[in-house]
Amino acid sequence: MRGFLPILAAVGNMTKTLGFFDSDAPRHYHCAPMVMQERLPTNFDPFRLADAGRELRGQLGLEGMDRLAPGLADRAAVVAVELKFGVDSEKFRYISGRVWTTLTLLCQRCMQPVAVPVDKTVSLGIVPSADAAESLQPGYDPLIVDTPLVALATIIEDELLLAVPMVPMHPPGSCEAVVLLVEKPVPVKKESPFAVLARLKDPS
Ligand SMILES: [Zn+2]
Structure confidence at residue 181 (pLDDT): 52
Instruction: Report CA(3)–ligand 1 centroid distance (Å).
Output: 40
Instruction: Report CA(17)–ligand 1 centroid distance (Å).
Output: 21
What separation in angstroms does the CA of 176 have from each of 106, 170, 181, 182?
Answer: 14, 10, 9, 10
Instruction: Report CA(191)–ligand 1 centroid distance (Å).
Output: 36
CA angle in degrees (0–180, nearest 5) for 108-106-73: 165
Residue 155 three-state SS? helix
Q: What is the phi-psi region of residue 64: left when phi exceeds 0, alpha when psi lies from -120 to 50, beta otherwise?
A: left
> For residue range 92-103, what is the model confidence (pLDDT) as tens digits?
999 999 999 999
Structure confidence at residue 176 (pLDDT): 73
Query: What residue ranges do the domains of the chain occupy?
Result: 41-201
Distance CA 69, CA 63 (A): 9
Instruction: Report CA(176)–ligand 1 centroid distance (Å).
Output: 7
Instruction: Report CA(170)–ligand 1 centroid distance (Å).
Output: 4
Instruction: Report CA(110)–ligand 1 centroid distance (Å).
Output: 4
Q: Give, as one character, the DSSP assignment of residue 140.
A: P
Instruction: Report CA(168)–ligand 1 centroid distance (Å).
Output: 8
Instruction: Report CA(173)–ligand 1 centroid distance (Å).
Output: 9
Structure confidence at residue 186 (pLDDT): 55
Other C-beta atoms closer than 10 Å to the C-beta of 96 total 17
> For residue range 2-16, what is the model confidence (pLDDT) as tens digits?
434 343 333 333 333
> For residue range 3-57, what is the model confidence (pLDDT) as tens digits?
343 433 333 333 333 333 344 444 444 444 344 456 899 999 999 999 999 999 9
Instruction: Report CA(108)–ligand 1 centroid distance (Å).
Output: 7
pTM for this model (two decimals): 0.68
Instruction: Report CA(167)–ligand 1 centroid distance (Å).
Output: 11
Partnered with residue 105 across adjacent β-strands are: 72, 114
> For residue range 107-163, what is the model confidence (pLDDT) as tens digits?
999 999 999 999 999 999 999 999 999 999 899 999 999 999 999 999 999 999 999
